[in-house]
Structure 1
C-alpha cells in the first residue's frame, strides 16, 4: 500500500512539472487618446477641403491596441513548441484593426535553446526585428513614420522565419511565399490588395530578408535588408528593396540612437516609383523612475517619385519631422502620456500615397507644415 501511494505521488509530481513547463498566456494592450491636428485634409481625394481636427483617433498615441494568445510546450531536450495569435482593434469603436481576426500575428513553430527557432505563418519581417531596438519612439502608433521606414509589408503572410540568439548577437532571416497588403489607398501604385500566393506565377508577391543585431554592454548596432515583389498584374511583379543600418548607446537613464535606410521601389517595367534616403535620430531619457521623455528627428531625402509607370518623374520636397513624448507610469502596466509632432513638407508620420495614408494625415493643397498633439492613457495586460 505504501509503495502504491509513493508511486501515485511521484506520478502526480511528474505530471505537475510537465504542466508547469507548458503554458498559454492571454495578453494585450489598450491605448486610447484624444488628438488635435491642424491643416489636415478631409480625405486624400479632397485636398482642397479640411482644416483642424479634434477627435479620438483609431489608434493610440503610443501603442496599437491588441489582444492575443501565446503558448509554449516543453518537448524535452531543450526543445519547445510555440504559437502566437494576435488581433488588433480600434479602441474608439472596438472594430477589428484591418478586418482580419488575427491580422497582426498568426504563427506556430519550434525552438531550441541552443540553435534558435523556426516559425511559420503571418509574422513581422526580419527587417522590422533588426531595427525595433533603434526606434526612438519604439514604433509609436502616432508621430513616428514607421510605415515609411519599414514599408507596407512590415508584416507578411505565408512566411517561414528563422531567429537565432547567440549571446549578444541576433540573426534573423525570412521568406514569404506570397504576401499582400490588406489596407490600401487607390493611389498606392505597387500594392496588390492582399493577393498572396499565385498559382503558376511563383515570384508574384514573394518577399525575403535578413538582419543582424548586436546588443551588449550598452552598445547596439544592426544591419538589415528587405525585398518584396508585389504584383498588381499577375505575372508582372514590381520590386521594393530596402537596406538599413543603425546604432545606439545606453548609459544610465540615457539612450541615444540613429540610423539610415535606403529604399528603391520599381514598377515591373523597371521605372522607379520611389527612391529615397531616410535618416533618423533620437534620445530617450528616464527623468525619474516614473517619467520617461523621448525626442526624435526624421528626415526623408526623396530622390525621385512617380504615380504610375508612364507618369513623369518628380522630385518632391524632402520631408522632415520632430516628435516628442512625455510618458508617466503609474505602475508597470498603466501609464498616461502627452505626444506631439511637427511635420514639414508633408503629413505627420510622412503620411502619403506611399504609406497608403495609413495614419490618416492627408495634406491640404499648398500646405507646408502640420502639427499634432495627443494625450492618452494606456493599459497593458
Structure 2
C-alpha cells in the first residue's frame, strides 16, 4: 500500500511538471465604433457620392480571437503555434475572406540561441519590421496598410525566420503561394504567387531603426502561367523623449507586368508622433503621403492623409477612443485604383477628398 501511494505521488509530480512545461492561451480583442464618412461612393468604385453614418468593427484594432500555445522541449527549445480568427463585431461574420483563422495560422520551433522558424499563414517581414514605426500602430480603421505594405502583408504557405540578437532583430520569409487569386503552388509554375522578404530592426534606449525588402509575384495570367512583380523596400526610424515618441519612414515601390511594363511606381512617406498626456490619455497624429510617379503610364494626383487619435484607458483591458482622418485625392486609407480599392473607402464620383470619424470602445481579453 505504501509503495502504491509513493508511486501515485511520483506520477502526480511528473504530471504536474509536464503541465508546467506547456500552456495554451485564449486571447482576443473586441473593438466597435460608430463612424461617420463623407463623400463615399454609394455603389462600386465610382458611384454617386454620399455621406454615411454606420457601426463599424475594428477602429484601433481588428476584432479577433485566438489561441496561442507554447511547449518547453528543454535545452532552450520550444514548440509553438498561433491560430487567430478575425471577425466583424457588428455582424458576427468572419473576416479575411470568411476564413476561420484568416489573421494567422502557424506552427513552429523556437531556440533561445538561434531564433524561431514558423510555418503557415503569417505576416510578412515588411509588416513585422515596420509595426513599431507606425504612429497609429496599424490602427485598423484609418491606417493605409495596403498602400504601404501591399495586399500580401498576410501571406499563406509561408516559412519565416525571426532571430533576436541583443538590440538587433533579423527576419526573413518565403511564401510558396501568398494567397492571391491563383493561390500558388501550381505544378510547373513555381514562381506563381510566390513572395519573399528580409530585413533588420534595431532598438536600443530611445532610438529605433529598421530596413526591409519585400517582393510579391502575383498571378497575371493563370492560363499562360505568367506573374507580375511587385517590389517594395523601406527604411524607418523612431526616437522617444519624455512622454513623446516621433516616427518617420519611407517606402519605395515598383510594380511591373510579366512583359516588363510599368504598372505602378511610387514613393510613400509617413511621419507622426505619440504623446502620453496623462497615464490614461494618449494622443496620436500621423501624416501619410504617396508620390505616385506613374500608374499604368498615367500621372495621377498624389494622395495624402492626415489622421488623429485620442485614446483613453478605463483599465488595463478597456479603452474608449476618438479616431479621425482626412484624405485628399483618395478615399480614406489612401484607397485608390493603385491598390485595387482594397480598403473599402472608394470616393464618390466627382469628389477629391474624404473625411471620417469614429467614436468607439475596445476591450482586450
Q: Per the shorter chain, which TM-score range?
A: over 0.9
1:317 corresponds to: 301
Report whether the alignment pairs 1:200 with 2:184: no
CA shift digits 1:159-188 (9 cap, x unpaired): 11100011111100000111223xxxxxxx
- Residue 347 in 1 paired to residue 345 in 2? no
Is contact 1:129-1:211 (8 Å) kept? no
* Cα deviations by residue, 1:146-165 (Å, 9 ceiling, x for unpaired): 11001000010111110001
CA shift in 2, pair 1:46/1:303, >3 Å: closer
Distance in 1 between residues matched to 2:311 and 2:116, nearest whole Å = 34
Distance of 2:49 and 2:306 partners within structure 1:
23
Structure 1 residues without counterparts, runs of 5 or longer:
182-192, 307-312
- Structure 1 counterpart SS, 2:200: strand
Task: Report the equivalent of 1:107.
Answer: 106
The answer as to whether partners of 1:44 and 1:363 remain within 8 angstroms in 2 is: no
Number of positions where the alignment pairs a residue of Structure 1 with one of Structure 2: 362
State the Cα RMSD in Å: 1.4
* Residue equivalent to 1:34: 34
SS of structure 1 residue aligned to 2:61: coil
Question: For the Cα contact (< 8 Å) 1:292–1:328, is it kept in 2?
Answer: yes
TM-score with structure 1 setting the length: 0.92
Match of 2:86 in 1: 88
Which residue of 255, 260, 267 corresponds with 1:270? 260
Whether the 8 Å contact between 2:67 and 2:83 is mirrored in structure 1 is yes
Assess if the C-alpha contact under 8 Å between 2:49 and 2:349 holds in 1.
Answer: no
Match of 2:363 in 1: 379
2:220 aligned with 1:232, yes or no? yes
Aligned partners of 1:342 and 1:348 also within 8 Å: yes
CA contact (8 A) 2:295 2:338 kept: no
- How many angstroms does 1:273 deviate by? 1.0
Higher strand share: 2
CA distance in structure 1 between the partners assigned to 2:338 and 2:10 by the alignment: 62
Deviation of 1:330 after TM superposition, in Å, equals: 0.5
Provide the residue aligned with 1:73 in structure 2. Answer: 71
Offset from partner CA, 1:1-44 (integer Å, 9 cap, x none): 76765554344333312211201111111111111111111133
CA distance in 1, matches of 2:164, 2:11: 35
1:251-290, aligned counterparts within 5 Å?
251-290=241-280
1:223 aligns with 2:211: yes
Counterpart CA distance in 2 for 1:377 and 1:83 is 29
* Contact 2:45 2:341 (C-alpha < 8 Å) held by counterparts: no
Q: CA deviation at 1:143?
A: 1.3
TM-score, structure 2 length as denominator?
Answer: 0.96
Confirm or deny: 8 A CA contact 1:279 1:299 kept in the other structure: yes
Aligned to 1:137: 136
* Contact kept in structure 2, 1:146 and 1:349, CA below 8 Å: yes
